[in-house]
Chains A and B, each alone.
Chain A
Amino acid sequence: MPEVSFVESLRMTLREEMQKDPLVMLIGEDIGRYGGIFGVTKGLLEEFGPYRVRNTPISESAIIGSALGAAMTGIRTIAEIMYIDFTTCAMDQIVNQVAKIRYMSGGKMKIPLVIRTQCGGGRGNAAQHSQSLEALFFHIPGLKVVMPSTPYDARGLLKASIHDDNPVIFIEHKLLYATKGYVPEEEYIIPLGQAEIKKKGREVTIITFSYMVWKTLRAAQQLEKEGVDVEVVDLRTLYPLDLETILQSVRKTNRALIVHEGCRRNGIGAEIACRIQEEAFDYLDAPVERVAAMDVPIPYSEPLEKAVIPDEEDIIQGVKRVLSRN
C-alpha cells in the first residue's frame, strides 16, 4: 500500500474490525453522515448502519456511560469524544464508572471499550479545544492510555486497543491526522505497553510520545548536525508503561530528557523522572530534565501559543541542559 494518512489508517482499522466482528459498535458525536470532524468515520454509517454507528446528541456522559453499558453486555465498543477537552463533561463516567466497575465488582466482567479522543494545540483552537489531558487518565487505576505518533503505530495500536478486554483511552493529536506514512495492508498488532526507539543514539535518552515525537526527531536531526547524538524513545502507550525500554536506554546514555505537550506540573514527565531515579539512579550522570508546556491554559494568539507549547528549539535547549551537567 502507498503511504496513507493517520486518518485513513484509523478509518481502515475501524472498518476492518467492524467487518470482522458484527458486535463492534461506534458511538459519538457527528460520526455518522458527517464522518467525524476529522473524517475518521467517513463512510462507516453507510456501510454498517445506524445501529452500529451511533451518531449521538451532544451528551458526553451518556456517550461514555452507554458505551460502558454496551461493552459490559457484549458489544465491543469504540466511543468517540470529539475533543479531549470534552471528556471532562463525562469525567464521572470515565473515572468512577469505566475505570472502576470491573474492580469494584470483583473482576467478573470484561470491558471491551475504547474511548477515542483528540488532543493538542498548534492550531489556534484556544484553551478549551487544545489541551493535553493524558496525565489525568494516566493517574486513574483501571484505564489504559495509548498515544500513537505515526499512521503505522495508529493502526497497530488501535487494533490492540479494540481487541483488549479493558478500557483504553486512545488519544490522537490533531496535528497528526494529516501526517502520512507507510501502512501495510496486512493485519498487524502492536501490543499495548511496548515503546519503540524511533531513533538510536548514544548521548541522551529523550522519552516522548504522540506529536512531540515528530518535533523531537526534527530537533534530533538538528542536534546531529551539531555533533550531538540522541536516542528517541516513543512510549506509544503511557499505561501500561514500558519502563524496561526506558531504563535500558538510560543505562546506556546515562542522561534522560522527557518531552511532552501536557503541562509540566504533575505531567507524565514527573512520574517517568521519578521512576528513572528509583530504578536507575546509579546510572545517571545528570538530573533528569523535562520539556513540557507552561503551566497555563493554551492561549489563542499565535505568538502566545507558540510560547506555551514546546518546540524543536525548546527540545534542543533541554538536551543541552542535560548534557551540560557532569
Chain B
Amino acid sequence: MVHSIDPTLHLKMYEQMITIRSFEERAIELFEHNLIRGNIHPCIGQEAVSVGVCSPLRREDYMVNTHRGHGNCIAKGADLKRMMAELLGKSTGYCKGKGGSMHIADFEGGNLGANGIVGAGLPIAVGAGISIQIRGTDQVVACFFGDGAVNQGTFHESLNMAAIWKLPVIFVCENNQYALSTPIREAISVSRISDRALAYGIPGMTIDGNDVIEVYKQMKEAVERARTGKGPTLLDCVTYRFFGHFTGDPGRGITYRSREEMEEWMGRCPIKRFREYLFREKILTEETEKGILAKVKTSIEEAVQFAMESPFPLPEEATQDLFY
C-alpha cells in the first residue's frame, strides 16, 4: 500500500469502518430482539468498499444505494440517530418510518436512496448524471450495486447510456460473490465483471475490495475522470459478506458457502487489514485507537437510545407523503 492519503483521512476512514461494523452488529442485536421488522442485509465484511468509494466524494456528490446499504449511508455521511430510528420504524427516521432498512435516503447528503429491487438503482444514477450534465456542475454519482445486479437488463441499459453520453457516473459493483445463494462464477460467462466494461468502451477494473486504500485510489481516479467530463467507470470490488444474505439466512450462508471459504475470507477482514497497516505505518497508536473505539461506541449507543426513545408514526401518517 502506498502513502498517498494524509493521516487524518486515514484515521477518519478507519473510524468510519468501525462505525459501520458496530452499527450493524448493534442493528442485528435489535433485530434479534424483534425491535426491527422485516430483515436486515448486513454489509459486515464489505466496509472497505463503502468507505473507499465514499471517501473521495464531496457531500454534494450523489450516491445511489442497494438493499445492503447501511455502510454506504454511513460512509456518505448519514446521521446514525436518524438511521437507527428508521430501522426501528420511528417517525424521527430518515423516511419517517416509511422506508426501513432497505430504503434509507438522505437527499441533503446526496444519498438518493437505496433500492429493494436488484439493479433498479442503476438507471436512477444515470438520470442523476444527466441532471449534472444539464446543470453544468462538476458533481459525480457513485452508483452501488451487487454482483447480482450485473445480470439485470438495467445494468446493460444503464452502462451503455452513461457511456454514450459520457455521464459522470462511477458504477461500483460490491462484488461479494453471491447473489443470495448463487455464486458469481455460475452467473456470468466472463471471468471478471470488469470485463463487461469493454462492451461499453469504458474503463473497468477488478480490485481487491477488502483493501480500503486500493478502493480509495481507484475510486479517486474514477471520480477525477467523471468530474472532468471523461465519462463513467466500472469498478468491480471483490469482497465478501461475513453474514449471509440477510438476517434470516441459515448459518450465515453455510448452505451455499463452505466453512473453509468463509473462514478464509474472515481472515481477509478489511478492518483487521487496515488496522495492521495503520499500526505498521505508525498512523494509528493504541491510544488513538482506544479513543476511536470509545467515540464510536458512544455514538452508536446514542443512536440506539435516540431511536428507542423516539415515537412511532401515527396511523394517520400512512396516507401522507404520497404526493407533493
Contacts and interface: CB of A to CB of B under 8 A. Distances in A.
B321 interface: yes
Given A61-B123, A69-B126, A97-B117, A102 B99 contact: no
Interface string A57-77: 101011111111111111101
Contacts of A38: none
B126 A106 contact: no
Interface residues of A, number: 45
A71 B98 contact: no
Interface stretch (B13-21, B37-45, B155-163, B207-215): B155-163
B99 A66 contact: no
A25 B117 contact: no
Interface stretch (B24-32, B89-97, B181-189, B260-268): B89-97
B299 interface: no
Contacts of B97: 106
Given A51-B133, A107-B321, A72 B112 contact: yes
B164 A57 contact: yes
Most buried by A among B115, B122, B323: B323
A150 B133 CA distance: 36
Contacts of A107: 96, 98, 320-322, 324
Given A51-B133, A57-B164, A70 B128 contact: yes
Interface string A291-324: 0000000000000000000000000000000000
A166 B324 CA distance: 6
Contact of A104 (B95, B107, B153, B320): B95
A70 B130 contact: yes
Contacts of B116: 96
A75 B136 CA distance: 12
B120 interface: yes
A218 B124 CA distance: 45
B127 A68 contact: yes
Contact of B95 (A105, A110, A111): A105
B248 to A, nearest CB: 22
A27 B322 CA distance: 25
B271 interface: no
Name which of A62, A101, A144 has the most chain B CB atoms within 10 A of its CB: A62
A249 interface: no
Q: Which of A61, A71, A105 counts the most B-chain CB atoms under 10 A from its CB?
A: A105
Nearest to A110: B324
A139 interface: no
Given A66-B123, A71-B127, A102-B321, A52 B134 contact: yes
Chain B, interface size: which category?
A: 35 or more
B103 A104 contact: yes
A92 B117 contact: yes
A141 B322 contact: yes
A56 interface: yes
A103 to B, nearest CB: 5
Nearest to B93: A106
B83 interface: no
The DSSP consensus for interface residues of chain A is mixed
A252 interface: no
Interface string A74-85: 110100000000
Contacts of B95: 104-106, 108
A300 B97 CA distance: 49
A97 B124 contact: yes
B127 to A, nearest CB: 2
B161 A57 contact: yes
Contact of A67 (B127, B135, B165, B321): B127
A69 B105 contact: no
B206 interface: no
B235 interface: no
Contacts of B160: 57, 59, 62
Nearest to A66: B127
Nearest to B86: A106
B157 A61 contact: yes
Contact of A62 (B94, B107, B123, B132): B123
The 9 A-B residue pairs whose C-beta atoms are closest, nearest first, are A69-B127, A65-B123, A107-B321, A62-B157, A66-B127, A106-B95, A59-B157, A106-B96, A105-B105
Interface of A: 23, 25, 27, 51-52, 54, 56-57, 59, 61-75, 77, 92-93, 96-97, 101-111, 141-142, 144, 165-166
Given A59-B160, A71-B127, A75-B130, 12 more contacts: A57-B164, A63-B123, A69-B130, A70-B128, A72-B112, A92-B120, A106-B97, A107-B98, A107-B320, A107-B324, A109-B107, A166-B324
